[in-house]
Amino acid sequence: MTRPVGVFDSGVGGLSVFKALRAHMPAEAFVYLADSRFAPYGERGDAFVIERTRAVVRQLRDEYAIKALVIACNTATAAAIHLVRAEHPDLPLVGVEPALKPAVALSKTGRIGVMATRGTVQSSKLRALHDSLKGQAEFILQPCDGLADAIQNHDVARINALCGQYTQAIGPFGNQPGQVDALVLGCTHYAFAWDTLQALVGPDVRLIETGEPVARQTRRLLEAAGQLRQGSVPGSVTLLATGPQEALNAAAKRWLNL
């Protein structure tokens, strides 16, 4: 039996991380679960997000015997990853967090915008990360109410309007002193608004998301455990949704050509 790697998000946003995982580990089998009945997590309380995360992990372990788990959701990582680690110490686990450290390394002006859900912006995990970088850059933390939901539902007009509203609140953007020259996408959904955001902030501004480092870390963990699947045959992909399956299938086809 080929044990798959589990990937979990509140909705379709984690497909941006899943795309990087498949590129780095093409022979691996994957199970992707979108908890879309309860999406987006970013505007719900920690207790609710913890309850749902625990339920999803149990389902993926019990029904699919996953050999590792990627929590491809910033809000779920911030609220629940420490509990999942404590409750499943035998399960290799990778979470996501807004890429503030890479942004510091890339920024020349020292002003960095961070777009994230309200749940992530208010989390103790992000506050601790922010405080650890104090003095290295100035971060403008922007909660983006509604944006994950608009991307989840592929509402193009609303995506454009909200991206415009939130980038305007962060700006001005550019590579001159006092301008924001790096923009961290602190929700996995936001990678699917990449072109819209890049057009709004201009070509001199670096957009930074988390898919690549998460994929590299997951591969390292599987290699260290002797569980990385090798070979040239692409691994199987199972897509699951607690909400409408058609929405997840359409997003996977639209963004990943699955």
Q: How far, in Å, CA of 49 to CA of 59, rounded?
A: 15
Question: What DSSP element (H or E) covers 138?
Answer: strand 138-143
CA separation, residue 77 to residues 41, 69, 81, 82, 85 (Å): 11, 12, 5, 8, 11
Q: How far, in Å, CA of 200 to CA of 252, rounded?
A: 25
Residues in the chain: 258
Specify the amino acid at residue 240.
Answer: L
Pick from 6, 3, 2: nearest CA to 18: 6
Q: Tokens representing 84?
A: 């999942």
Q: How far, in Å, CA of 186 to CA of 114, rounded?
A: 6
A 10 A CB-CB count for 189 gives: 29
Active-site annotation, residues = 73, 187
- Half-sphere exposure in the Cβ direction for 29 (13 Å, CA): 11
15-24 and 211-224 helices cross at what angle (nearest 10)?
50
Buried b (16+ CB within 10 A) or exposed e, 203-220: eebbbbbbbbbbbebbbe
Spatial contact of 13 and 73, defined as CB atoms under 8 Å apart: yes
